[in-house]
Amino acid sequence: MSKVILFNPRSANSKHRIPNSILQVGASINGKYDFVFVDGNLEKDPWAKIKSYLSTGNFKFFGCTVMPGLQPKQAIPFTKKIREEFPEIINIWGGYFPANQYKSVLDSGFVDYVINGPGDEAFPQLIEAIKSKADTSLVKNLIFKRASEFIKTPKADLFDQDTLPQLPYEKLNSFYPLEKYLGKTFLGTKTAAYHSSMGCPFTCSFCAVVPIYEARWKGKSATLIYKDIKYLKDKFGANGIEFHDNNFFVSEKRTVEFSNLIKIENMIWWGEGRIDTINKYSDESLTVMREAGCRMIFFGAETGNDAILKQMDKGGTQSGEQIKKFAARMKKFDIIPEYSFVLGLPAETPEKVMRQIDEDIQFIKQIKEINPDTEIIIYVYSPVPTEGSELYKKVTETGFKFPIKLEDWLNPQWSNFDLRKNPLTPWLSAEMVDKILNFETVINAQYPTVSDFKLTSFQKKTLRFLSSLRYKSDFYNFPYELKALQKFWLKYRRPEVEGFYTE
């Protein structure tokens, strides 16, 4: 028997989203091979579930999706146990973690194949090749080891996304009630996660999407997105949408078409985009988007420093000035810009690293003055292997190395690295990391925002009052009083780690 398990390891501690990775992979084999979904987010004991399936003797393939952070914590030990207890099973991993870290993944000896990019054709073709004992190196988007050599097969062109098979929502619903994935966020009481495009046309040198998609992007048509969303609304009661695309807004035409279609559904939505792209949108387009329910957009602002923006290869046109002007423009249309900043990039001297951090803190404060509604997300820079980029070259020159052994990713310091909170980067001192994180605490207290919808106005006022002296005088050390209140009132979780700011 050659049944398939599709496993989504636990990716967050609460507020679970539709597991679009295994859902889309499921679509690729739906009707061709018999498969089951196992979702580590909703199973109390996912290993027991996996084991019970494998013990039937009906399974041959274990497909596992892995993004950095929490997912390796189940993906690594479970796949290892499968190899030990069920050695006949073929283990296949896909997603950003194995595609970028394929060396340590395949050297582990318990992952047989890594899907390098979209699995929509690669996965069914791989299964077929293994079953018919054909040469797997003819399957595109694959990495595996033959003897001691890594075989990387060519990348397939991105497919026309409208020709991909229908997502098997009903099948997922038969394993896990879909309502369980429709969480309460400030977008709606039942927020659906939808993924409408693959890749991204840009090549930012710090971004994990770049080595995999190499500046390619393809999106579903507005009509198809609308059809799927309408189905989620009518069938399961979804009333808000989070678009999980890396870059939803690449095409103004598609965004406007979608806005015109979704308008009558009265749903609030959110997605990720680029400042320089959306800044080129016309006023009419932005007005239609707002009327159609686009309430907030996530942008990688990254830094106000033009030299660093250039080093980050942000596409050439983004500048500190533009970031500020754009925050003001969004205010006019009542669309909240959610700006994410990456602080702590390498520089020639420790003094320069600290100066860059200080300048970015001042820049973020200016943004808040221009448009206080702007949501601010702060990351500590942690490298991804964008080989060939100027930034990655600089990073490796400092002596930085990724783990060689797959299980080393389970050490707390490396999982924190992936959460971009405690990076093992030689150029960042504890003092620098503390400054970044403490500033984040103070600014969140000074400006409670629309997504802090759980706070009463008294609580917001108290946080503002307590943080104002610190904020005005740039004194961020030891903000324990603010941390305690945020923890107590908000059960504050770092949205950039556990979930999006729309929560």
Q: In sequence order, what are the residues at sequence separation of 6 or more whose Cβ sits closer than 8 angstroms to the Cβ of residue 29?
A: 4, 35, 123, 124, 127
Min separation Cβ 80 and ligand B12, Å: 16
Q: In sequence order, what are the residues at sequence separation of 6 or more whose Cβ sits closer than 8 angstroms to the Cβ of residue 491?
A: none
User: CB of 105 within 8 A of CB of 68?
Assistant: no
Which partner in ligand SF4, ligand B12, none is near 204 (CB below 5 to 8 A by kind)?
ligand SF4
Which partner in ligand B12, ligand SF4, none is near 222 (CB below 5 to 8 A by kind)?
none
Choosing from 25, 178, 187, 200, the residue that interacts with ligand SF4 (CB under 6 A) is 200
Min separation Cβ 30 and ligand B12, Å: 13
Render 160-197 in DSSP notation, one character per residue: -GGGSPPP-HHHHHHHS-GGGG-EEETTEEEEEEE--E
Min separation Cβ 210 and ligand SF4, Å: 5
When asked if residue 344 is in the footprint of ligand B12 (CB under 6 A), the reply is: no
| Span interacting with ligand B12, options 314-322, 385-393, 415-423, 432-440, rule CB under 6 A | 415-423
> Cα–Cα distance between 387 and 406 in angstroms, integer?
20
> Cα–Cα distance between 95 and 330 in angstroms, integer?
33
Choosing from 268, 292, 343, 384, the residue that interacts with ligand B12 (CB under 6 A) is 384
When asked if residue 218 is in the footprint of ligand B12 (CB under 6 A), the reply is: no
Closest to ligand B12 by CB, 449 vs 467, is: 449
When asked if residue 436 is in the footprint of ligand SF4 (CB under 6 A), the reply is: no
Min separation Cβ 381 and ligand SF4, Å: 12
Which partner in ligand B12, ligand SF4, none is near 72 (CB below 5 to 8 A by kind)?
none
User: CB of 9 within 8 A of CB of 47?
Assistant: no
Choosing from 202, 243, 258, 501, the residue that interacts with ligand SF4 (CB under 6 A) is 202
Choosing from 112, 228, 245, 360, the residue that interacts with ligand B12 (CB under 6 A) is 245
User: CB of 151 within 8 A of CB of 139?
Assistant: no
Min separation Cβ 401 and ligand B12, Å: 16
Secondary structure of residue 10 in the 3-state scheme? coil
Among candidate residues 450, 428, 496, the one with its CA nearest the CA of residue 186: 450
Choosing from 60, 145, 220, 244, the residue that interacts with ligand B12 (CB under 6 A) is 244
| Span interacting with ligand B12, options 113-121, 231-239, 250-258, 446-454, rule CB under 6 A | 113-121
Closest to ligand SF4 by CB, 389 vs 486, is: 389
The phi-psi region of residue 377 (left if phi > 0; otherwise alpha if psi is between -120 and 50; otherwise beta) is beta
Enumerate residues 432-471 that contact ligand B12 by CB under 6 A.
none
Q: In sequence order, what are the residues at sequence separation of 6 or more whose Cβ sits closer than 8 angstroms to the Cβ of residue 102?
A: 114, 116, 143, 150, 152
Min separation Cβ 498 and ligand B12, Å: 5
Chain centre distance of CA 275: 18
Choosing from 195, 254, 274, 314, the residue that interacts with ligand B12 (CB under 6 A) is 195
The phi-psi region of residue 293 (left if phi > 0; otherwise alpha if psi is between -120 and 50; otherwise beta) is left
When asked if residue 172 is in the footprint of ligand B12 (CB under 6 A), the reply is: no
Count of residues touching ligand B12 (by CB under 6 A): 43
When asked if residue 274 is in the footprint of ligand SF4 (CB under 6 A), the reply is: yes
| Span interacting with ligand SF4, options 187-195, 204-212, 282-290, 485-493, rule CB under 6 A | 204-212
How many CB atoms are closer than 10 A to CB 242?
Answer: 25
| Span interacting with ligand SF4, options 119-127, 200-208, 345-353, 468-476, rule CB under 6 A | 200-208
When asked if residue 204 is in the footprint of ligand SF4 (CB under 6 A), the reply is: yes
Among candidate residues 40, 27, 33, 26, the one with its CA nearest the CA of residue 72: 40
Choosing from 118, 219, 300, 448, the residue that interacts with ligand SF4 (CB under 6 A) is 300
> Cα–Cα distance between 385 and 261 in angstroms, integer?
40
| Span interacting with ligand B12, options 132-140, 149-157, 393-401, 492-500, rule CB under 6 A | 492-500
Secondary structure of residue 141 in the 3-state scheme? coil
When asked if residue 420 is in the footprint of ligand B12 (CB under 6 A), the reply is: yes
Copy the structure tokens of residue 400. 């930085």
**Cross-sheet strand order for the sheet of 336-343:** 183-185, 188-194, 240-243, 268-273, 294-302, 336-343, 375-380
Copy the structure tokens of residue 101. 């870290």
When asked if residue 96 is in the footprint of ligand B12 (CB under 6 A), the reply is: yes
User: CB of 329 within 8 A of CB of 279?
Assistant: yes
Please tell me the number of Cα atoms within 13 Å of 271 on its side-chain side. 24
Render 102-140 in DSSP notation, one character per residue: HHHHHHTSS--EEE-S--TTHHHHHHHHHHTT--GGGSS
When asked if residue 256 is in the footprint of ligand SF4 (CB under 6 A), the reply is: no
| Span interacting with ligand SF4, options 15-23, 201-209, 322-330, 361-369, rule CB under 6 A | 201-209
Closest to ligand SF4 by CB, 252 vs 407, is: 252
Write each residue from 205 to 244 as x if it is in contact with ligand SF4 (CB under 6 A), else as -, in one continuous string: --x-xx----------------------------------
Contact set with ligand B12 (CB under 6 A):
11-12, 15-17, 20-21, 24-25, 41, 63-65, 67-70, 92, 94-97, 100, 115, 118-120, 123, 195, 208-209, 244-246, 384, 418-420, 496-500
Contact set with ligand SF4 (CB under 6 A):
200, 202-204, 207, 209-210, 246-247, 274, 300
